[in-house]
């Protein structure tokens, strides 16, 4: 139920975002100079609190254990970063969508594109995680059958087949990466590097905003993963 509501919120925000004109180069530069540094400072300050982050990680691990389940250091780190970063910026987009003071929806555009960019490294990690545990098939089938979050247009059957085959190859490669590097650092690093290349031909997002979200998530994930070390002593 929660996931369905989350998907509905993202789709509604995406439809609103697509109906807006993209900001000018001057507006993008202004936003990256005055808003983005403040965002980085606040997020960095929050995640610099080692004691607080460790308590949150420990609480999440204990919650899984109480249900007779285990959560890995990598999974725990992904979950915490997603809960704080992605949803914080998504909620900011929700607030600014209807804010009459947000002239030309400048802040909304930033927070929505930034939140979508912040999802990418975590999504790649989750795909790799599921594939490594043999859970990728159901997720692939659900993904190709579902309408695009952004466009709302379903792919034709032929496109779905091609997407499915492509997903199998890509998901297997992602799983190999986290087997070779269990921390996931190399995978999130490569993901962020690829983001800008993909966005060159993608007009749906502002490249600077989207890439900034992905890059900040990469850095925060690495910090959280390192903080989690005491909860996962080496055997």
DSSP labels, 6-34: HHHHHHHHHHHHHTSPPPPHHHHHHHHHH
Dist CA 192 CA 94 (whole Å): 25
Instruction: Give the total number of structural domains in the chain.
Output: 1
Is the predicted pLDDT of residue 108 greater than 90, yes or no? yes
CA 12 to CA 82: how far, in whole Å? 20
123 CB-contact burial (10 Å; exposed 0-12 / middle 13-18 / buried 19+): middle
- 106 pLDDT more than 90: yes
CA-nearest of 25, 7, 37 to 216 is 37
Residue-level pLDDT at 171: 64
C-alpha closest to that of 224 among 184, 169, 165, 179: 184
pLDDT band at 18 (very low <50, low <70, confident <90, very high): confident
String of DSSP letters for 172-221: HHHHHHHHH-TT-HHHHHHHHHHHHHHHTT--SS-HHHHHHHHHHHHHHH
Query: What DSSP letter does each residue of 128-161 carry, written as one string?
Result: HHHHHTT-HHHHHHHHHHSPPTTT--PPPHHHHH
Question: How confident is residue 15, by pLDDT bands cut at 50, 70 and 90?
Answer: confident
Q: For 102, which DSSP code?
A: S
Q: How far lies 199's CA from each of 1, 68, 117, 152, 176, in Å?
A: 32, 42, 11, 19, 25
Supply 147's token pair. 């309408």
Domain that holds residue 132: 2-231
Q: Do 74 and 182 contact (CB within 8 A), yes or no? A: yes
Query: pTM higher than 0.85, yes or no?
Result: no
DSSP 228: T
Comparing 17-31, 59-73, 132-146, 210-224, the range with the smallest average pLDDT is 132-146
Over 90: is that where the pLDDT of 5 sits? Answer: no
Residues 208-233: tens digit of each pLDDT: 999 999 999 999 999 999 999 999 99
Query: What are the tens digits of pLDDT across the range 161-191?
Result: 444 345 455 666 777 888 889 899 998 998 8
């Amino acid at each position: 139920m929660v996931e369905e509501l989350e998907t509905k919120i993202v789709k509604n925000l995406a439809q609103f975002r697509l109906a807006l004109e993209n900001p000018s180069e001057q507006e993008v530069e202004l936003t990256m100079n005055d808003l983005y540094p403040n965002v980085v400072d606040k997020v960095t300050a929050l995640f610099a609190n080692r004691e607080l982050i460790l308590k949150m990680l420990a609480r999440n691990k204990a919650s899984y254990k109480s249900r007779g389940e285990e959560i890995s250091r990598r999974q725990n780190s992904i979950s915490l970063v997603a809960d704080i970063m992605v949803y914080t910026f998504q909620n900011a987009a929700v607030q600014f969508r209807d804010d009459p003071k947000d002239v030309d929806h400048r802040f909304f555009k930033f927070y929505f594109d930034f939140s979508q960019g912040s999802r990418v490294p975590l999504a790649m990690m989750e795909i790799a995680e599921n594939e490594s545990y043999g859970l990728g098939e159901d997720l692939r089938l659900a993904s190709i059958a579902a309408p695009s979050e952004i466009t709302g247009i379903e792919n034709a059957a032929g496109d779905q087949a091609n997407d499915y085959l492509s997903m199998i190859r890509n998901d297997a490669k992602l799983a190999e990466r986290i087997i070779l590097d269990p921390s996931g650092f190399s995978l999130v690093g490569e993901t962020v590097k690829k983001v800008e290349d993909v966005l060159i031909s993608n007009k749906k997002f502002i490249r600077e905003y989207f890439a900034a979200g992905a890059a900040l998530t990469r850095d925060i994930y690495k910090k959280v993963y390192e903080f989690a070390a005491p909860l996962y002593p080496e055997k």
